[in-house]
């Protein structure tokens, strides 16, 4: 049975929305350094946390498939296995779901974390925000961006209210209201190099993450690489985040609240967990936000200009221009933000014959600003999205895709 047939076989737990691979490629978007919490739990299946729930995602050519898992009752964390894959060979998805429900419902328990006053209520507030995303307005759209229509694909006809809410959360997280195809066409007309790269790296789009998770994850990126950052973020969630559920003996947790990150004793704990000097930045930034701004301050930055949001973030300990731009782009709806590091500086000089910063051995503030402005002028209001396509294409982990594309082109010429 093909994977598409397996996924379509009368599922009660799997759902899908229409989403062509040209609009979203999970294997690129979830591993290119935007978010550090997604695990490939089986081939082509990714499990992670969105809006306080655990999700497994996969895709076929034209559909984005998803399922969510119930929050486990509080108590001792058990070891009951909960499968995260579609039905096996010869088994309908309905049969698989009934088997899973019979084996696992109500049996996998989690032990609550020690919580400071106010932490539980704030966590629940974040969950409510996720559940209410159905009512949220889509992000402001710039030139060349328009809505990608998505449809419910429920095996039982009309989707439930829960289905609609979950699909709204997915659309929001992947920003599916923005037509990536239109943007790629616009960038390709303006930029021959982008056109060449986009032939292999279609479907790279920007996530709309929780601002708190995005900020503190990127504070961990200083002098670091993706795999190590992912390990640090995982340890952070396991020790300070609220337990959500356990799948295949792997526990999943909510990202820690600001209150949890600011609590006494967190800095030495993080140092023990290998965070080094970043431990101080994490705890100090959390305390500064709570004491001077309040727990909703980060989300409020979505409603101010890019320049205002960037400047505000740069006042926090451990947040420089690059981290601030990453947070602006990947959680605060600032599509024009262009994060620049030495890697992006190299792309600018190598692929765009750019003399920006020539003669400088380090990435100065002026060089940083000039590179960002150069790309904003070239690519327009969604420059940060275009930048991420080139950044993704330059990662060593994806070089095999370039080789595969070259082989295909040679085959077509023959």
Contact 168, 17 (CB under 8 A): no
The alpha carbon of 174 is separated from its chain's Cα centroid by a whole number of angstroms, namely 8
Where in 254-305 does DSSP place strands (E)?
A: none
Element housing 40 (H / E): strand 39-42
DSSP summary character for residue 11: -
Tell me the HSE value of 310 on the side-chain side, using a 13 A CA sphere: 17
The one catalytic residue in 83, 126, 165, 322 is: 322
Residues 64 and 389: their CA atoms lie apart, in Å, by: 20
Here the tokens at position 188 are 């390709």
152, β-bridge pairs: 17
Tell me the DSSP string of 277-288. Answer: THHHHHHHHHHH
The alpha carbon of 336 is separated from its chain's Cα centroid by a whole number of angstroms, namely 18
Q: Given the structure tokens 């659309």, which residue do they identify?
A: 171
Query: Dihedral, CA atoms, 384, 387, 389, 395, nearest 10 degrees?
Result: -130
The residues, ordered by sequence, that sit 6+ positions from 8 with a Cβ below 8 Å of its Cβ are: 93, 155
Contact 170, 134 (CB under 8 A): no
Hey, CA dihedral for 295, 300, 302, 307, is it positive or negative?
negative
Residues 317 and 145: their CA atoms lie apart, in Å, by: 35
Hey, CA dihedral for 95, 97, 102, 108, is it positive or negative?
positive
Q: Is 322 a catalytic residue?
A: yes
Catalytic center residues: 322
């Amino acid at each position: 049975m093909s994977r598409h047939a397996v996924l379509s076989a009368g599922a009660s737990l799997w759902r899908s929305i229409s989403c062509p691979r040209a609009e979203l490629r999970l294997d690129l978007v979830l591993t290119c350094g935007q978010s550090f919490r997604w695990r490939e739990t089986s081939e082509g299946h990714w499990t992670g946390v969105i809006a306080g729930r655990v999700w497994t995602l996969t895709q076929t050519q034209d559909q984005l498939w998803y399922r969510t898992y119930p929050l486990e009752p509080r108590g001792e964390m058990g070891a009951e296995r909960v499968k995260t894959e579609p039905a096996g060979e010869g088994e309908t998805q309905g049969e698989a779901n009934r088997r899973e429900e019979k084996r696992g419902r109500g049996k996998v328990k989690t032990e609550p974390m020690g919580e400071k006053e106010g932490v539980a209520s704030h966590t629940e507030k974040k969950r409510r925000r996720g559940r209410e995303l159905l009512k949220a307005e889509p992000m402001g759209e710039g030139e060349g961006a328009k809505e990608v229509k998505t449809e419910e694909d429920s095996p039982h006809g009309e989707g439930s209210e829960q289905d609609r809410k979950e699909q709204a959360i997915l659309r929001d997280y992947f920003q599916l209201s923005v037509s990536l195809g239109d943007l790629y066409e616009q960038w390709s007309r303006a930029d021959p190099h982008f056109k060449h790269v986009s032939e292999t790296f279609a479907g790279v789009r920007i996530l709309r993450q929780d601002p708190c998770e995005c900020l503190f994850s990127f504070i961990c990126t200083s002098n670091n690489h993706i795999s190590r950052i992912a390990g640090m973020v995982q340890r952070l969630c396991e020790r300070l985040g609220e337990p959500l559920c356990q799948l295949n003996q792997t526990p999943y947790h909510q990202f820690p609240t600001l209150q949890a990150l600011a609590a006494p004793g967190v800095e030495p704990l993080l140092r023990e967990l290998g965070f080094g000097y970043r431990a101080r930045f994490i705890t100090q930034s959390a305390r500064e936000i709570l004491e001077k701004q309040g727990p909703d301050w980060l989300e409020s930055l979505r409603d101010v200009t890019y320049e205002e949001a960037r400047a505000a973030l740069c006042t926090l300990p451990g947040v420089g221009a690059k981290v601030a731009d990453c947070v602006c782009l990947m959680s605060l709806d600032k599509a024009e933000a262009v994060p620049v590091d030495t890697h992006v500086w190299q792309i600018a000089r190598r692929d765009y014959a750019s003399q920006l910063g020539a003669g400088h051995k380090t990435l100065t503030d002026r060089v940083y600003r000039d590179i960002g402005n150069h790309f904003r002028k070239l690519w327009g209001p969604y420059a940060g999205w275009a930048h991420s396509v080139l950044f993704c294409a330059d990662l060593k982990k994806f070089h095999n895709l370039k080789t595969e594309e070259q082989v295909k082109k040679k085959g077509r010429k023959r």
